[in-house]
């Protein structure tokens, strides 16, 4: 088994809030979000400098009792058939398991849910308009994935990277209403970060403010980062 690893962060306090975690960045993503700050992880071809999974696992074995958790991120980790076995090997070392996903493959996610302790779910756009952010019309599987996570009662942070050129005020309002209709109670809106982004137009575009109607949504607690 050889999970394609594009990068490895040995210590993070932000990728799973409240946990000391190592982060495994899986190589490859079929989505092409313009604001992506890890564009080097989009190609599915293994990065020449990416560490081999056996070496990552061996390092984790030496950190038992020193780290709380391991987060599998990307790219999009659920594209990889090897992910389930990598998670099982990591759990066997005693670590809690987190997953960053946009939910493009609910069939793969369903098999992973029993192995997970926490999910960071990337809500990209109104479900009907995913293609304008991701380049693919994957809003239906993304919605199904979020429904499955909620049904499994796994701890989850739903977050959206926001750039006003991609998600105008009306889209944010639609997204907030959709989450509330699904029974979600919290939503994190992350401001666009120019570092690492390859899109010159997005980097030059002025920022903005999340509309008050979204921040003070009647059925949803909204946090801005």
Instruction: In whole angstroms, give the CA distance from residue 101 to residue 133.
Output: 15
Helix (H, G, I), strand (E, B) or coil at 220: coil
Q: Confidence class of residue 13 from pLDDT cuts 50, 70 and 90?
A: very high
Residue 83 belongs to domain spanning: 5-224
Distances from the Cα of 184 to the Cα of 153, 177, 180, 203, 222, angstroms: 11, 10, 5, 31, 11
Instruction: In whole angstroms, give the CA distance from residue 115 to residue 122.
Output: 19
pLDDT tens for 131-149 read 999 999 999 999 999 999 9
Q: Confidence class of residue 180 from pLDDT cuts 50, 70 and 90?
A: very high
Q: Confidence class of residue 208 from pLDDT cuts 50, 70 and 90?
A: confident
Q: Residue 48 pLDDT more than 70?
A: no
Mean of the pLDDT values across residues 77-101?
97
Distances from the Cα of 221 to the Cα of 39, 123, 183, angstroms: 31, 15, 12
Number of domain units in the chain:
1
Q: Residue 200's domain is classified under what CATH number?
A: 3.20.20.70
**pTM confidence score:** 0.96
């Amino acid at each position: 088994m050889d999970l394609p690893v594009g990068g490895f962060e040995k210590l993070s306090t932000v990728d799973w809030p409240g946990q000391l975690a190592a982060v495994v960045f899986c190589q490859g993503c079929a989505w092409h979000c313009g604001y992506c700050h890890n564009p080097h992880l989009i190609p599915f071809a293994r990065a020449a400098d990416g560490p081999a999974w056996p070496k990552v696992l061996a390092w984790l074995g030496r950190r038992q009792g020193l780290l709380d958790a391991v987060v599998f991120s990307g790219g999009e980790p659920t594209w990889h058939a090897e992910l389930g076995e990598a998670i099982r090997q990591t759990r066997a070392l005693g670590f809690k398991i987190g997953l960053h996903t946009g939910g493009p493959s609910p069939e793969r996610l369903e098999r992973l849910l029993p192995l997970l302790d926490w999910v960071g779910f990337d809500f990209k756009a109104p479900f009907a308009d995913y293609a304008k952010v991701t380049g693919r019309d994957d809003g239906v599987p993304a919605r199904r994935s979020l429904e499955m996570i909620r049904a499994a009662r796994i701890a989850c942070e739903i977050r959206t990277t926001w750039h006003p050129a991609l998600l105008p005020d009306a889209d944010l309002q639609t997204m907030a209403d959709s989450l509330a209709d699904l029974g979600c109670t919290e939503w994190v809106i992350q401001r666009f970060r120019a570092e690492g982004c390859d899109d010159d137009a997005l980097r030059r575009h002025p920022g903005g403010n999340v509309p008050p109607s979204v921040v003070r949504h009647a059925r949803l607690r909204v946090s801005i980062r």
